[in-house]
A and B are shown apart, each in its own frame.
Chain A
Amino acid sequence: MDQGRAAVAPARARWALAVVPVLFTALFFLWPLGAIAARGLSLGAIGDVLGDGYTRSVLWFTFWQAAVCSAGAVVVGVLPAYVLARYRVPGRRLLLALVTVPFMLPTVVVGSAFLALLPASMHRTVPAVLLAHVWVNLAVVVRTVGTSVAQMDPRLGDAAATLGASPWQVMRHVTLPLLRPALWASSAVVFLFCFTSFGIVRLVGGPSHPTLEVEIWRRTTQSLDLRTAAALAVVQLVIVVGMTVVWSTAQARTATATAMRTLLRPRRARTAGQRALVWITVPATTAVVLAPLAVMVERSMCTAAGRHSLDAWRAVTGVGRALGTGGTQPVVADPWATVLASLRIALVATCIALVVGTLAACAIAYARRGGRLLDAGLMLPLGTSAVTIGFGLIITYNRGWYDLRGSWVMLPIGQALVAVPFVVRVILPTMRAIQPGLREAAATLGASPWHVWREVDLPVLRRSMGAGAGFAFAISVGEFGASSFLTRVGNETAPIAIGRLIARPSLLNLAQAYALATVLAVVTLVVIVVVDRLRGERGASF
């Protein structure tokens, strides 16, 4: 391994890779965070926060619900991940994209749709929060683990079968152990995502189950108590750092270099057992993913009590007659413009996250000790309250030429901060799995470190980068937390428009909100399918 590293990258080149991610994190995360801490933080405040029984109970709830939700998402997601990566299934690509949809929908829509599905007795309960979190985060597991499955040689399973291992034993003794790095990676991301969950917790969990994130948001924006908010933010940060270190250690330990070689195409389900697996898993996954989305579509047509019509769709798409609002201007004048704004911003955020995340993953994989540190550093924004980052950015980029407040670039930058850790998590296992021999071989053939990276690493990373890009895009499109803090002019995104539509009590507005969310979902679906298609040669991509 060490030799491989040397062949590829002299120390200087390795550090060069890290420059961009380090600068990005320092400029857009550490600096703003420091600025906020400087405004409100004191040791006394941290002591007060930790001494307070209420805060401690919030902390405990936040922690355990995130742990349960992370475990739940892995358990529910591993089978679809495996089946969709391994077997040729009609509509496989569409289903992969579909799984990502809950992840990118504005939480207010997801929450409402989910509530509509659950019996009233489950509203505002912890199980409801857990279910909603697992549902939303299924994409993380399916895409992260799926990427690893696609890279795993199925002949290892064949070898086990010739040694007398039943399909179940193959799963237990070969497949799962080899997927462990990806399972760790996805569980870490899901944990952080649930740990810092905001919208879903408020909507589905109600007021009796606030998470730390809700508490920070409340202190910052509702009671304007920066002292407590900053202390809570520090507590949250410490936990996130701790968890990140635990996870990245576990992940590095379980990575096996030779497990992943060539990327294999999904094959046809061969035996009756495999066919049964496919024919149970695929419809079940489809049903689970579609049910809340179906509710969303149904609601978009529910424009008056007990009546269905396409009025909301006419208003949103501008097709057919304009909506008569009795002389009142419509709440959202140009819904398409908001969808386009969302897409444009998401595209930029994706580009930023992909560049920063890929460079970071490479730097982490090459580096020895510094890598762990960089990895943890990049994970921090994911575990930091959106409200903290948003406020930090506003009081940092506030003068002269770097007065970026009100500039549209703040939005993709803020979203990329959250998306980068996803990109890193997805790419890192692949990066670690590249056989050093390949890099050495390339170096002996006269390839410069840059060429080694381009010719050896990049082709293998391509697939993971695609998965990362899908994530970054989905995160950005549905992101509401950070974006609602960063003042914008003329760039109202679809989630903000949805928020404005449902701020006016009327079934028609609600239907329009759902219709707009559906448009957003479909457009994103198309983008993800197209990206998936561009990325891989026929059928092989994940």
Chain B
Amino acid sequence: MTPTSRTNRLLVAMLAAVPFALVACGGSSSTSASSTSSTAGAATTAAATGAAGETITMLVYDAFTEPEVLKSFTQQTGITVRIAKGGDTGTLVNKAILTAGNPEGDVLWGLDNTLLSRALDTNGLFVPYASGELASLDPAATALVPNHEVTPVDTGDVCLNYDKAWFATNKIAPPTSLDDLIKPDYKGLLVLENPATSSPGLAFLLATVAKYSPTGFTAWWASLRANGVTVVDSWDAAYYNEFTQGGGGGKHPIVVSYASSPPATVIYAADPKPTEPTTANVSASCFRQVEFAGILGGSKHVEAAQKLIDFLVSEQFQAALPESNFVYPVRTGVALPDLFERFAKPIAAPLTVSPADIAANRDQWIAAWTKAVLQ
């Protein structure tokens, strides 16, 4: 037998094996998927109510990290939660809109206030649910959804971060306000994200709209542009490649990032960990993002989904959010982890724009921004 004909036979066999490979891979991966999600549920029979043994699917954005405490939900209720990831927030929400009435899952996590109005305008996207826990949540957040289509689950602030060491070394006072950025001292120091393609970029644009009014913000941006500013397309490009503390040799000591970024630089640092963050927030620059979870219309597990929503805003789950997802609890009175308490307290009076205004003007503001800054 020549090597050639042997290889041919191998190839033919390989081609023939494809349908089986499909089945085999399918079998193995679906088992692995269900086993990971049901490990906690397997032992549970005790607290089972009517929903026991049910499996519901929660759709989340790619960056979501599933907190360990989610397992105790399964222990308490017998309901297994499958986490399904599908793109960034915009993608996730638009997919939900396109599949309204016949959703990919039962609960959606991650709708935010910049997309809220558009989502709520879609008929039947969510099944309204007023959780019994609502009274314990931040009233400013619950006020955004008076009809309870969705429930606020966390908040986050998009803020200017600065490199503490850089300002100390260069003997310049760190910026304390948006006004500072257009002063000659801070010439060319800022890197930020394109609001057309980046969620923090959009949040920062909205901060300036809130601060300088819908008619006046472009003038501020024009001054900023004159003072030198670097725009990149995404948060990771800004933080890792352009920010002095990002590790990529960046040259900009001020970056648009999150209020929770400073503690992350400690929590995820290599040992020995620094005692305090290398970066800090400019609290007067912060825009408040609120994230919501909702039960998707067409879900066949509404009752179980309602239990999950209750759990998502419970003290236990809310307390785990800062260190798993670097967002703040929306529930009042939940203690923050020590690092957050010391270096990243939620901002008392963040800048905000109402979801309706955002929905109505977003494209126009972005166009005006593009004209003022990029063109």
Among the listed B8, B59, B102, which residue makes an inter-chain contact with A458, where contact means beta carbons less than 8 Å apart?
B8
CB-CB under 8 A from A509, the residues of chain B are 268
Report which B residues bind A (CB closer than 8 A): 3-4, 7-8, 10-12, 14-15, 17-18, 21-22, 25-26, 28-30, 32-34, 36-37, 57, 59, 62-63, 65, 67-68, 82-88, 90-91, 93-95, 97-99, 102, 104-105, 115, 118, 194, 196-197, 202, 230-237, 239-242, 245-249, 251, 257-258, 261, 264-271, 273, 278, 323-324, 326, 362-363, 366, 374
Q: Is the CB of A406 within 8 A of B29?
A: no
Verify B257–A505 contact, CB threshold 8 A.
yes
Q: Is the CB of B68 within 8 A of A394?
A: no
Contact A112 B104 (CB under 8 A): no
Q: Interface with B: A75-83, A145-153, A160-168, A202-210, which one?
A: A202-210
A residues in contact with B230, CB < 8 Å: 124
Minimum C-beta distance from A258 to chain B (A): 21
CA distance A358 to B105 in the complex (A): 37
* Chain B residue with the shortest CB-CB distance to A486: B86
Q: Which residue of A lies closest to B25 (CB)?
A: A348
What are the residues of chain A within 8 A of B88 when measuring CB–CB?
221, 484
Known contacts A406-B84, A535-B7, A391 near B95 by CB under 8 Å = yes
Q: Is A372 in contact with chain B by the CB < 8 A criterion? A: no
The docked-state distance in angstroms from the alpha carbon of A504 to that of B257 is 10
What are 30 A-B pairs at a CB distance below 8 A?
Answer: A108-B236, A112-B248, A124-B232, A206-B237, A207-B231, A221-B90, A222-B202, A224-B97, A224-B118, A299-B247, A324-B271, A331-B65, A344-B28, A348-B25, A394-B98, A399-B102, A408-B25, A462-B8, A462-B11, A484-B88, A485-B91, A487-B86, A489-B83, A496-B62, A502-B240, A506-B269, A508-B268, A511-B247, A534-B7, A535-B7
For the complex formed, measure the closest distance between the CB of B116 and the CB atoms of chain A, giving whole angstroms. Answer: 12
Say whether B94 contacts A220, CB under 8 Å. Answer: yes
- In the bound complex, how far is the Cα of B62 from the Cα of A304, in angstroms? 26
Cβ contact within 8 Å between A465 and B11: yes
Which A residues are CB-close (under 8 A) to B248?
Answer: 112, 115-116, 299, 510
Contact with B along A216-241 (1 / 0, CB 8 A): 01101111111000000000000000
Q: Which residue of B lies closest to A359 (CB)?
A: B15
Interface residues of A in 87-130 (CB under 8 A from B): 108, 111-112, 115-116, 120, 123-124
Q: Known contacts A304-B270, A491-B29, A508-B269; decide if A329 and B68 are in contact (CB<8 Å).
A: yes
Any B CB within 8 A of the CB of A34: no
A170 within 8 A of B: no
Partner of A500, one of B14, B63, B105, B237: B63
Residues 455-496 of chain A, each 1 if its beta carbon lies under 8 Å from chain B, else 0: 000110010010000000000000000001111111110001
Is there an interface contact between B30 and A484, defined as CB atoms closer than 8 Å?
Answer: no
On whether the beta carbons of A203 and B234 are closer than 8 Å, the reply is: yes
B26 and A409: CB pair below 8 A? yes
Q: Are A510 and B33 also in contact (CB < 8 A) when A202-B233, A202-B237, A409-B22 are?
A: no
Tell me which of B7, B36, B194, B232 contacts A490 (CB under 8 A): B36
Contact B104 A405 (CB under 8 A): yes
